Structure formats: structure tokens, C-alpha cells
Amino acid sequence: MKAKFKNPRAKHDFQGRSCSITGVGSYVPEKILTNADLEKMVETSDEWITSRTGIKERHIAAKDEFTSDMAAKAAQRAMKMAGVSAEQIDLVIVATITPDMPFPSTACLVQQKIGARRAAAFDLEAACSGFIYGIEIAQQFIMSRTYDTALVVGAEKLSSIVDWTDRNTCVLFGDGAGAAILQHRENSNGLLTVVMGADSNKAGLLSMPGGGSACPATPESVASGLHFLRMDGKETFKNAVNAMVSAANDAMRRCDIDITKIKCVIPHQANQRIIDAVGERLKATPEQLFVNLHKYGNTSAASVAIALDEAVAAKKIQRGDLVLLVVFGAGLTWGAAVIEW
Ligand SMILES: CC(C)(COP(=O)(O)OP(=O)(O)OC[C@H]1O[C@@H](n2cnc3c(N)ncnc32)[C@H](O)[C@@H]1OP(=O)(O)O)[C@@H](O)C(=O)NCCC(=O)NCCS
């Protein structure tokens, strides 16, 4: 008797396949805002910013340049490296806390800008951890053979939610985008493991209270600055170090490796002192740690994606090397990935 339907998932001999990053790309806006520029805007100094954070400058998007524009440019560069056409892309995930607008999703706008008309598209919100959350989600579709080609982008226009009169936060952040194409590649293990975590007890440490259903925009909410990013810097710092060290160790333990097997550690670029503390506790050498924070500040979901692209361009990572990505962000959220490049 003919079956009533075919269950596409009913193959009992199903075996997952590995998922590799086959292309990376990044984009930062042209305009540079230096510490000297900030000295003219708030009561701060290059010395304070450099010694407390390691940041020297950050890139700021133009008024008419949006998160989707930066994401699309980074995506096109990643597609070029992977040799992938827009038609081939099955899935677009954009990790961001600064979407062009609440809806439609920035991923849909990127889909249109790059011409990936076949692709499913959605946004992912895990703050600075978004890119790692994104590659783990995309990997599930490649492993299960649901899709062949996924595009994951971390993109932010943080300059649009920063209070430029608040010296506690405005010196820390910048704009930009980083992208990766994920596919199965023969004879490569690709993403070996991805650790993801969250602790909502600490949701208040880093947030933007206004603009959602709890606090829609009103003249009062705008006047009270509820549409700006706010942060408890000291507590965030401590939590960042602990969560990143623990996630990185979990990821390496799962692969039965120690830090000496890792060629390049790419940490979330929030603060040089956080990176130093994480590096020290992981026993990573300065040569292993990739840092580009001085040029861009904290670009949230774009941060490790831009750093990964630059590490590849600088030939810090070669095919077959093991790479450790480790991130932390609002939520609180965190993540770590071990990748055979
Ligand atoms: C924000 C951060 C750089 C502050 O560094 P810190 O060593 O904790 O600094 P402190 O809190 O000791 O700073 C204290 C003083 O510096 C002042 N200060 C803050 N920003 C300043 C600035 N841009 N310029 C000059 N002084 C500043 C504060 O007003 C405070 O003054 P007070 O003691 O008179 O009140 C640090 O806490 C940090 O990076 N935290 C993590 C932030 C982060 O990464 N967030 C994103 C995570 S994804």
C-alpha cells in the first residue's frame, strides 16, 4: 500500500555531517572616532581610555548607513572567499542588538541587499555572544543535511544606542560587521564543539530598557534616556572573565585538548584587561591571543566575527589549525567554540 505521506526525517541510517567555515569577511564604516575626538565630547582622556580599556579608536557608521548595509558588505566578502553565489545561500542569520528596526528582521533586509532570494532569514539576539550562537544554530542545519549553505553575520550600529554624553559607556563601543559562510567541507572536522550559556539573574547588568513591549517609546521614556544602552561596568567585567574562562575550558574539555593545542584564541573584544585576565587564566600566550580592540572598540555581535576575518587575513590561522572563539555579552550570555580551520 502506498504510504500516506513521506517523512523527510525518517531515514534510520541518518548520519550528521561536519560543518566548516568556508569563507569570512568583515566591514567597518569609514569614519573613525579617536580618543582625542572623545576628549572634545565628554570629560575623558586618551590616557584614561587607553589604560582602562586598550581602545584607541572606533568606527562610526554614517547617518544613512544601517546595520543591514554593513552586514551585507561583510556578507559579500565572506561569499567571495567561499566562492558562493547569493543563489546558493539557504539560510541567513543576523546576530544583532541594533537591528535597522524592530521588524522586519535585519536578516530579511540583508537577504534583499545581497540577493539571496532562496534563503530563509531571521535575526538572533544574544548580544555580544550572538555570532557564536549563530554559528551553532547554522551548524545544526548543515549537520542534519537540511541546508547546504548558511550565512551568519554579526552586525551592529551601536553608535545609535550609545548615550554620547555618558563617558562611562560612550568610549567603549563602535560599529561594524563580520560574516561567515558555513558549509560541509570534505575531510575537515570544522566546528568541533560550541558551548553556549546564559544567566538571566544578571540581566540588569547590561541592557537597553526602552523600545520594547515593557517600555514602548513615549516622550517620557526618551527624555529619561531609556533608549540608551546602560551598564554596570565593574560587575560586567568580573562576570565576563569568569564566564569566558569557564566556557573556553568546557569547550576544550569536550575536545580532550588543552590550550597548547590551540593555534589562535579569538576572544570577544570588549576590554584589553578582560582579554588579558582571560588569557592568563587559560594560560594562553600573547602570541596565541588575537586582539584588534584598539582599532574598533567593542562591536558586540560583530566583534569576534571581525577578529576572525582579520586573523585569517593576517595568516594567523591556516587550514587544519585549531581555533578557540570565546565570547560574553548582555543577557548575560556567553559562548565558546573550538574549530578545526
Ligand atoms: C567600564 C570600565 C572600563 C571601567 O573601568 P574600571 O576600572 O572599572 O573603572 P572604575 O569603575 O574604577 O572607574 C572609576 C572612575 O572612572 C570614571 N570614568 C568612567 N568613565 C570614564 C572615562 N571615559 N573617562 C574618564 N573617567 C571615567 C568614573 O566616573 C569613576 O569616577 P569616580 O571614581 O570619581 O566615580 C570597566 O569596568 C569595563 O570595561 N567593564 C566591562 C565593560 C564591558 O566590557 N561591557 C561589555 C561587555 S560585552
What mean pLDDT is predicted for residues 181-186? 96
Peptide bond into 91 cis (omega under 30): no
Reported confidence tier of residue 11, pLDDT bands at 50, 70, 90: low
CA distance 177 to 162: 17
Q: What is the pLDDT of residues 299-311, one digit of tens each?
A: 999 999 999 999 9
| More confidently predicted of 158 and 187 | 158
Dihedral angle, C-alpha 133, 135, 138, 140, nearest 10 °: -80
| More confidently predicted of 92 and 12 | 92
pLDDT at 16 (0 to 100): 83
pLDDT at 10 (0 to 100): 66
Q: Mutation test of ligand 1: which of 271, 275, 278, 293 has the most ligand atoms closer than 8 Å to its C-beta? A: 271
Quick one: which atom of ligand 1 is closest to the CA of 128?
Answer: 48
Residues with CB under 6 A from ligand 1: 44, 48-49, 52-53, 128, 167-168, 171, 231, 233-234, 236-237, 240, 270-271, 298, 328-329
Return the sign of the alpha-carbon dihedral for residues 170, 107, 313, 265: positive
How far, CA to CA in Å, does 123 sit from each of 18, 98, 116, 270? 24, 11, 15, 22
268 is catalytic: yes
Q: Smallest Cα–Cα separation from 233: which of 170, 299, 149?
A: 170
Q: Smallest Cα–Cα separation from 151: which of 107, 112, 186, 103?
A: 107
Query: Which grid coordinates belong to 64?
Result: 544613512
Whether 271 and 54 have beta carbons less than 8 Å apart is answered as yes
Buried/exposed code over 92-121 (b: 16+ C-beta within 10 A; e: otherwise): bbbbbbbbbeeeebbbbbbbebbebeebbb
Q: Smallest Cα–Cα separation from 299: which of 268, 272, 330?
A: 268
Reported confidence tier of residue 9, pLDDT bands at 50, 70, 90: low
Reported confidence tier of residue 1, pLDDT bands at 50, 70, 90: low
The number of CA neighbours under 13 Å toward the Cβ of 212 is 8
Query: Which grid coordinates belong to 28?
Result: 567597518
Which residue is catalytic, options 19, 35, 59, 128? 128
What percent of the residues of the chain are helix, what percent strand, and what percent coil, each to the nearest 5? 40, 25, 40
CA distance 29 to 79: 19
CA distance 252 to 209: 36
Amino acid letter for position 323: V
Which residue matches cell numbers 576544550? 252
Q: Smallest Cα–Cα separation from 266: which of 233, 226, 308, 231?
A: 308
pLDDT at 136 (0 to 100): 97
Asked whether the predicted pLDDT for residue 297 surpasses 80, the reply is: yes
Asked whether the predicted pLDDT for residue 7 surpasses 70, the reply is: no
284 Cα: distance to centroid of ligand 1 (angstroms): 26
Q: What is the pLDDT of residues 97-139, one digit of tens each?
A: 999 999 999 999 999 999 999 999 999 999 999 999 999 999 9
How far, CA to CA in Å, does 230 sit from each of 63, 162, 195, 239, 324? 22, 8, 27, 16, 29
Q: Mutation test of ligand 1: which of 35, 52, 268 has the most ligand atoms closer than 8 Å to its C-beta? A: 52
Phi, psi of 38 (to 5 degrees): -65, -30
- Averaged confidence pLDDT in the chain: 96
What mean pLDDT is predicted for residues 171-180? 98
Q: What is the pLDDT of residues 34-85, one digit of tens each?
A: 999 999 999 999 999 999 999 999 999 999 999 999 999 999 999 999 999 9
Reported confidence tier of residue 8, pLDDT bands at 50, 70, 90: low
Q: Mutation test of ligand 1: which of 168, 169, 241, 293 has the most ligand atoms closer than 8 Å to its C-beta? A: 168
Asked whether the predicted pLDDT for residue 6 surpasses 80, the reply is: no
Q: What is the pLDDT of residues 258-278, one digit of tens each?
A: 999 999 999 999 999 999 999
Collapsed DSSP state (helix, strand, coil) of residue 75 = helix
233 Cα: distance to centroid of ligand 1 (angstroms): 6
Reported confidence tier of residue 294, pLDDT bands at 50, 70, 90: very high
Percentage of residues of the chain with pLDDT beyond 90: 95
31 Cα: distance to centroid of ligand 1 (angstroms): 25
pTM, rounded to two decimals: 0.95
pLDDT at 3 (0 to 100): 75
pLDDT at 92 (0 to 100): 98
Return the sign of the alpha-carbon dihedral for residues 160, 165, 166, 171: positive
Paired sense of beta strands 31-34 and 333-340, if any: unpaired
Instruction: Report which DSSP code applies to 261.
Output: G
279 Cα: distance to centroid of ligand 1 (angstroms): 21
